[in-house]
Structure 1
Amino acid sequence: MRIENIQLIKNYRIFQNWSPSPDFAGFSDINLIYANNGSGKSTLASLLSPAQSPDAWKAGVSVEVSETGTTEPRTVESSQDAFWDRMSVFNKDYVADCFDFSVGEAKALLAIGKVNANREKELRTARTRLDDLSRLTDSLVKEAKHKQAVPNTILKSIGTLVTSTLGGVDGYGRGYDARAVGKRLPFAMPLEKQSGFKAEEEIAKAQSTFMQEVDVPLISATEPLSSSTVSAVLERVPTARVIETLATRPERAAWVQQGVELHLHEHNCLFCSGELSQERLDALNRHFDSSTRELQDDLRFLLKQLGALVISLGKLHALFPESGLLYPEFRAEYDLLRDGLKIQIQKDVTELEMLREFLERKQQDLHAAATLPESWLNKSFATPDVGRLRKLLADHNDRSTRFEAVRKSACQKLEAFWIGEQHEAYTEALSEAHQATLAVENNAKAIKETRRVITELENAELDPAPPAEWLNQRLHTLLGRSDISVEPVEGNRYAIYRHGEPALHLSEGECTALALLYFVRSLNTGGRSRRNQIIVIDDPVSSLDENFTVGASSLLWSELVQPSVCSCGAPLDCPCGQKPTRDCGQLFLMTHNFELFRIWSNQLDRLQSGVMKQGRRFKILELQAQGKRVEVGVARRVPIWRDWGSDQNKEHKALRTRLRSEYHYLFWRAASTLISCQGDPTIEHEMDAAIILPNICRRMLEGFLSFKFPALMGDFRLQMQAAIDQVNDGLTRQRLVTYLHQYSHQERVETTRGVNRPEAVPVLHAVFELMRNQDAEHFMDMCTALELDPVLLANRAPNPTSELEAAIA
């Protein structure tokens, strides 16, 4: 059982949509990993303990693993997979969980009592059952996901049919999805009603477009005008004795008639002042007698009636709206009637105007009889019958009033019909999904119960007394002093003492030492075999001194790779009978402490043949953060694996041998990065150069300048300023000043900030020029030892463009 490769990390800190390069061959049995701060090492360690990284696993992680008894690797994508029950991870989170810093007591995580044979048997049985249940989980979950998707797929298909057909109706648009269909399931059309359902007719109703109501005009009644009545008036002649001069001059007669009315009680003419004789007045009265006045009144009445009728007809057609405002089924008949009305109105108005001319001429000449054309003798003029037009408008309005009800009813019928067609298939799919879900839940309950049994069995074995003695012995050896000790107390916990007094404030290093011992001792508890465990150790000496580095390295090597002492602390030939397993299933040792890395690298190269014969292989890796452009103008640090060789690949052994110290490594790392930027460097190469400036270069310069300026040791800025003052070249001085003020002060590597520093390559050149200027012999010796070309490092970089000069300045 081991981790073969980490294939994908979607979103976890520095790992963003990350996957290893295609040429990365995966992990081995023993994996030594070196990494500088900010490269993702600790993030990776917490990722391998899913309980510490739930957000990462929720976002998406894919790990390739192999297990005992199987020939093909499998992919783990769940934090709940039983594979993780075999993981043991030591990191800062583990240390924090081991201690209650407020009281200075360690939790009894590693307290071990006598092993009960029956309990171990029960543990083995429980673990086998857990493995079987866990293997079954994948197939059950996969089947459940498939079954659970089927009912929703059926509902989606119904929803798609509804929205594509009825999308224009309120309530059946985009919001009509599978959930909406699910709510309508109780209203599904029964099977017996589906055969007689006319879907096409209902679709036509549902897809019709709403038309606004129109006004139905109210037609005022006008009195009909008969041609016979007009003809009779035209033929009438007054019976009075006429005055010839007035009869022959109608325009004068009208003027004189008006004058007679004004002179009823006058004796003199108001116009000429002449005398009005009674004889003349009698003659005028006979000319304008009652028959004349009656005819005039009749003519005026007819003209008024005719005028009202013309006005009414002129407005009538406009009262009826265009047919485009009506539903399509009404338009043809409506247009026919409306056009006919227009023609009828035009004809009637024309003829009425002709009648008006006849009447006006008669009004001018009362004594001349007139006749109408014979074709008009039986005509009658009145408002046309528009009842059918008004009926069509009323029918349209009635349809508009009931529009939503008609469409809604059609939509509901169609909805019930389509749901009814799929109801049987949906019910069956729902039942299958429920059974599949129930199988997953029952399996999960069984796993939970089995884990509970295992936990109870493991906790029942805890006995803090024996480990306390073991812990004190190892702790004194590890720290090189005996002032710290532990004693068992009630509740399976330990009391911690310093010089016999309660140690209420442990240093970070002391906590790490205790936690590391607890961790190593716990690997054999609970009936577990190291052979079945994957052990991850992240920075076991990150906060301790060099003496502890050697002690921690020896402890881990002896416990996890090749024991040098018995489990009780005596030599290996001890007769106590305790024979710990000599190795674990898989080991990951991650560190940014170069001394620990160097010790283990040398030991792995000299790994004893006895361990090799057991099939134990090793690989040495470095996790580096390289620049990668993620969008225009923005780059991110992206972790990559660098292979430093393995037991089967000795290609890099010579280089590992040359890197005798951290200083050698830093020099080689900075130099190799700069060499990769020769010629026309890519943006990624320039980003790599920018990445190493705040960390790698600073640590390299700290080591170099502490040797050159021992009096200024501890003050990097003063050391840099002293070295810069001795540089004669102006451009190099300018670049070094830029480095000092902009980059060298960064104590912590920013792993999420974008990188865009094209001046990084010239600054790197300036750093090596500074070292050559200070100590040319040392510089050349380092290049020779590491097989580097000094010309590529210290020759001043080509003059930058004016833009770059401005950026540096």
Structure 2
Amino acid sequence: MQKIPAPIAEITLNEATFHNEFFQPTLINYLYGKNGVGKSTIGRVIKSDSGLIWNSNHTMTDFSILVYNEDFIKRNFSSYDNLAGVFTIGEDDISVREEIEAKSAERQLLLNQHKSIKESIQKKTDERNSIEQAFKRAVFESSADFRNYFIDAMQGKRGKPDVFVPELLKQTNAVKHDLNELKMLYDTAFDKSSVAYPELRKVDKSLLSTSPLLEKSIVSSSNSTFAEFVKRYQTSDWVRHGHDHFKNTDGHCPYCQQVLPNNFEEQISSIFDDQYQSDLNAVKSFKQSYKHNLSSLIDTLNTNTSTMYSKLNLTEYLDKLELLKSVANENLKTIEDKLNEPSSIVKLRDTDSIIDEINGLIADFNQQIKTNNDIVAGKNDKKKECIKQLWELIYDTLKPQVDAYHTNVATFDDEIATLNQQLSDIVTQGKDVSAKLAELNKQSINTTDAIDSMNILLSDSGFQGFSIRSKDGENNVYEVIRQDGRVAENLSEGERNFIAFLYFYHLVHGSPTDDGTNRDKIVVIDDPVSSMDSGALFIVSALVRGMVGICRNNASLNKQNNISQENYIKQIFVLTHNTYFHNEVTSNMDRYWDSVSFFLISKLDNHSHVKLCYREENDLQGNPKHYNVDPVQNGYHALWTELKDLSRLQNVSPVSVTHVIHQILDHYFIQMCCYDGNSIRDRILVDNKQKFQKLDDEGNEIIDERYYLIQSMLSYLATTKNTISDAHFIDEAMDPQTCLRVFKEIFEIMEQNQHYTMMMGGTL
């Protein structure tokens, strides 16, 4: 079973000795802890609305938070004749009361409508937020490629959806920029090492133009008999080749070895006339020129490949360059073939188209280099341009999602705006009703009844030495009057605290403000029984249980929908270190798991902690169930019960008695009150040693045996697991009743006799 939600859903403590300590209260909350562990801090935190998480549809302004603590006492009893008036206590004029009830019902109806509309607004807001979160996740994921590449251009806008999306929603201009160009712009503008580069050189394709002689058959034009013979058989190339390669043949033909005629050289010369030689020389010159131009052209193109601009993709360029080299070298071979056979007709392979393609690539490269150089020259402006274009491209890419989001949230915004207007109208009506209620409540105030009620409670509590009356000529001011009629000047601390609590009690039941507004209450009661006698403590305990009962009605209403029960205390916190008071106000309350929680406040190493006290057990079906655990009861109470049983036995072993005593002392003083064994020993045996001194028969000052018995008992609390065992301290012949008496004396010296009396039930 879950606990019933209360107005204050969670409290986080970061003041005094609390460090990020939090707990979740329910309707009724009992917090137990010794003095100095931080109880008062909790009350002040609740009063200041610091670190509080309110349940849905609630804020601090919905409630009157009333805190009874030392601050409250000082504030209201700075002088004994200043006590703020208590309103709406006692009988009212019937007709006014009926009108108040009618207006209260109207106000409640408006509050219900206010709550319903706020819930609708919250629901719509949650749905809108859900759409917004889904949109943020979607566009953030969709923009991953942009965010991962353009890191520097999106500085501070890319790491999380909450910084990326607001920038996206600022965009109004969607432009489909070329992504590759944008990347190039980014790479250069945001590269700290980027520099300007020289452009690449193009080449002149005319340097490798062909010669018309290559397609002309170069032959002799001579009319000699031998020349005609060579022409007829088209052997001029064969003859020239043989003549050039076999000049030293001793007058014999290099092919058939016949003796050559004496005029053979003349006949050879007649074959190759001047025109022939001129054409042949022209081809040779063309070859040299072609070879030289090719070398120069290739050198230029090779030099281009050594550019330092690493972002150029030279793969195609290098392929074209290799192709050009291959074709040009093939053309050189063709020219060589022409020289070897001048009469042959040859044709060079085309290099113009290859060079055109290479020059085209160079033009593209130079454009990239120019772009780079322009960016480098105006880097700051280019960065801004890059960022602008980047967000325009991102917006263009994500625009369908952005448009859908705007459409969806616009619908919700319109609906929420309508609901807010309705809420504003209800608030205006509520103010009018509250103003009317304030006027009516002023008419119903009956201060005399409030004073009479407090005086009756004072009388019932046993405080007969004074009463309270209103101060003449002062509104909302009380005076504490002694029996002799004089204004009180000296009240005991217990009397002062008791009157303060009675006043606080009526504040809880009434209205502390002049406007008469009766808001629901959240009540905090911090150690209300300090310095009070048992009679006052009993009265205060009864009043606190009454307030707890009113708060408990909220749990009953939650189940029964019974509107007749008082339930204006919506949440209550009771903090104390007094175990008697704690037991009085918590009796049988641990059974209400749904609406009651017990907390133990402790402090270790100057750090305070708040712990919910509960246990978990499985029911018959094996399902886990939770139960409240009172931190002041359980095994500790069993030890006291066992001690009382032992005290009634005859011939009981002192070992048994001291064993239980040691456990009680350890649990109460060490675990619950957070003393250590040495500090208790010093306080009793050192600071109060005189209480154990007495005179012997001869008048000499000696130490009573009680001192040594207490010393032995306290030694258990100061020892460790490696020190003395029980056998060293317990004498089997020791009187058990003596052990019990010194045990009681320990509580008296430690000023804990109230606790001892409560736990022993007045025995011993």
Q: TM-score range by the shorter chain?
A: 0.5 to 0.7
Inter-partner Cα distance in structure 1 for 2:580 and 2:361: 100
Question: Which of 90, 100, 106 matches 1:123?
Answer: 100
Q: 1:379 to 1:457 in 2, by over 3 A?
A: same
Conserved? CA contact 1:628–1:638, under 8 Å: no
Equivalent position SS for 2:611: strand
Question: Which of 301, 313, 335 matches 1:316?
Answer: 301
- 1:110 and 2:86 correspond: yes
TM-score normalised by length of structure 1: 0.51
Inter-partner Cα distance in structure 1 for 2:214 and 2:129: 84
Inter-partner Cα distance in structure 2 for 1:375 and 1:406: 64
Higher RCO, 1 vs 2 (CA within 8 Å, ≥6 residues apart):
2
Please, which runs of 5 or more residues in structure 1 have no aligned partner?
A: 21-25, 63-75, 189-201, 236-294, 359-369, 564-580, 606-615, 661-665, 676-687, 714-718, 740-758, 786-809
Q: CA deviation at 1:310?
A: 1.0
- 1:149 and 2:144 correspond: no
- 1:640 and 2:598 correspond: no
Conserved? CA contact 2:481–2:487, under 8 Å: yes
Question: Which of 349, 355, 375 matches 1:386?
Answer: 355
Q: CA deviation at 1:316?
A: 0.9
Inter-partner Cα distance in structure 2 for 1:423 and 1:27: 43
Q: CA deviation at 1:16?
A: 3.7
Q: 1:88-113 CA deviation, whole Å, 9 max, x = no partner?
A: 653345335435x3x66534242668
Q: 1:529 to 1:104 in 2, by over 3 A?
A: closer
Inter-partner Cα distance in structure 2 for 1:669 and 1:451: 61
Equivalent position SS for 1:210: helix
- 2:736 equivalent in structure 1: 777
Q: Give the counterpart letter for 1:110 in structure 2.
A: V
- 2:52 equivalent in structure 1: 57
Equivalent position SS for 1:492: coil
Inter-partner Cα distance in structure 2 for 1:5 and 1:656: 37
Equivalent position SS for 1:512: helix
Q: 1:199-251 CA deviation, whole Å, 9 max, x = no partner?
A: xxx9895588724799752225485586689999x99xxxxxxxxxxxxxxxx
Inter-partner Cα distance in structure 1 for 2:452 and 2:144: 78
User: Over the residues paired in the alignment, what is the CA RMSD in angstroms?
Assistant: 6.9
Conserved? CA contact 2:117–2:419, under 8 Å: yes
Inter-partner Cα distance in structure 2 for 1:723 and 1:639: 40
Q: CA deviation at 1:552?
A: 2.1
- 2:691 equivalent in structure 1: 711
Q: 1:434 to 1:80 in 2, by over 3 A?
A: same
Conserved? CA contact 1:148–1:433, under 8 Å: yes
Q: CA deviation at 1:702?
A: 8.4
Inter-partner Cα distance in structure 1 for 2:107 and 2:726: 59
- 2:528 equivalent in structure 1: 540
Question: Which of 37, 45, 58 matches 1:78?
Answer: 58
Q: Give the counterpart letter for 1:777 in structure 2.
A: P
Q: Where in structure 2 are the equivalents of 1:119-518 lying within 5 Å?
A: 119-169=96-146, 173=158, 174=160, 179-180=166-167, 182-184=169-171, 210-211=183-184, 217-219=200-202, 221=204, 306-307=291-292, 309-317=294-302, 319=304, 338-348=318-328, 386-392=355-361, 394=363, 411-421=394-404, 423-443=406-426, 450=433, 454=437, 457-458=440-441, 461-462=444-445, 481-482=465-466, 487-494=471-478, 511-518=496-503
- 1:90 and 2:82 correspond: no
Inter-partner Cα distance in structure 2 for 1:35 and 1:556: 19
How many pairs align? 577
Equivalent position SS for 2:533: helix
Inter-partner Cα distance in structure 2 for 1:300 and 1:695: 117
Q: Give the counterpart letter for 2:320 in structure 1.
A: G
Please, which runs of 5 or more residues in structure 2 have no aligned partner?
A: 189-196, 220-279, 372-384, 548-564, 615-627, 645-657, 694-702, 745-764
Q: 1:452-501 CA deviation, whole Å, 9 max, x = no partner?
A: 55555545555656756776786697666559987345343346789999
Conserved? CA contact 1:98–1:106, under 8 Å: yes
Q: CA deviation at 1:147?
A: 1.1
Inter-partner Cα distance in structure 2 for 1:773 and 1:488: 72
Conserved? CA contact 2:39–2:575, under 8 Å: yes
- 1:806 equivalent in structure 2: none
Inter-partner Cα distance in structure 1 for 2:202 and 2:440: 100
Q: Give the counterpart letter for 1:624 in structure 2.
A: L
Inter-partner Cα distance in structure 2 for 1:231 and 1:224: 16
Question: Which of 577, 582, 591 matches 1:592?
Answer: 577
Inter-partner Cα distance in structure 2 for 1:215 and 1:467: 99
Inter-partner Cα distance in structure 2 for 1:341 and 1:620: 90
Inter-partner Cα distance in structure 2 for 1:428 and 1:504: 69
Identity over the aligned pairs, expressed in percent? 15
Inter-partner Cα distance in structure 1 for 2:743 and 2:493: 41
Inter-partner Cα distance in structure 1 for 2:709 and 2:639: 35
Q: CA deviation at 1:349?
A: 5.0
Q: CA deviation at 1:627?
A: 9.7
Inter-partner Cα distance in structure 2 for 1:553 and 1:496: 20
Q: Give the counterpart letter for 2:663 in structure 1.
A: A
Inter-partner Cα distance in structure 2 for 1:591 and 1:311: 103
Q: 1:515 to 1:137 in 2, by over 3 A?
A: same
- 1:552 equivalent in structure 2: 536
Inter-partner Cα distance in structure 2 for 1:654 and 1:735: 20
Inter-partner Cα distance in structure 2 for 1:44 and 1:228: 110
Q: 1:673 to 1:506 in 2, by over 3 A?
A: closer
Inter-partner Cα distance in structure 2 for 1:535 and 1:728: 46
Q: CA deviation at 1:78?
A: 3.4
Equivalent position SS for 1:11: strand
Inter-partner Cα distance in structure 1 for 2:727 and 2:740: 13
Equivalent position SS for 1:638: strand
Q: 1:182 to 1:583 in 2, by over 3 A?
A: closer
Q: Give the counterpart letter for 1:433 in structure 2.
A: I
Inter-partner Cα distance in structure 1 for 2:141 and 2:741: 75
Conserved? CA contact 1:155–1:181, under 8 Å: no
Inter-partner Cα distance in structure 1 for 2:184 and 2:611: 63
Q: CA deviation at 1:516?
A: 1.4
Q: Give the counterpart letter for 1:78 in structure 2.
A: H
Inter-partner Cα distance in structure 2 for 1:387 and 1:141: 76
Question: Which of 663, 666, 670 matches 1:671?
Answer: 663
Q: 1:651 to 1:136 in 2, by over 3 A?
A: farther
- 1:752 equivalent in structure 2: none
Equivalent position SS for 1:695: coil
Q: 1:766-801 CA deviation, whole Å, 9 max, x = no partner?
A: 89987989987358648999xxxxxxxxxxxxxxxx
Conserved? CA contact 2:81–2:478, under 8 Å: yes
Q: CA deviation at 1:416?
A: 4.1
Conserved? CA contact 1:540–1:552, under 8 Å: no
Conserved? CA contact 1:313–1:383, under 8 Å: no
Inter-partner Cα distance in structure 1 for 2:566 and 2:120: 42
Inter-partner Cα distance in structure 2 for 1:775 and 1:376: 143
Inter-partner Cα distance in structure 2 for 1:372 and 1:724: 139
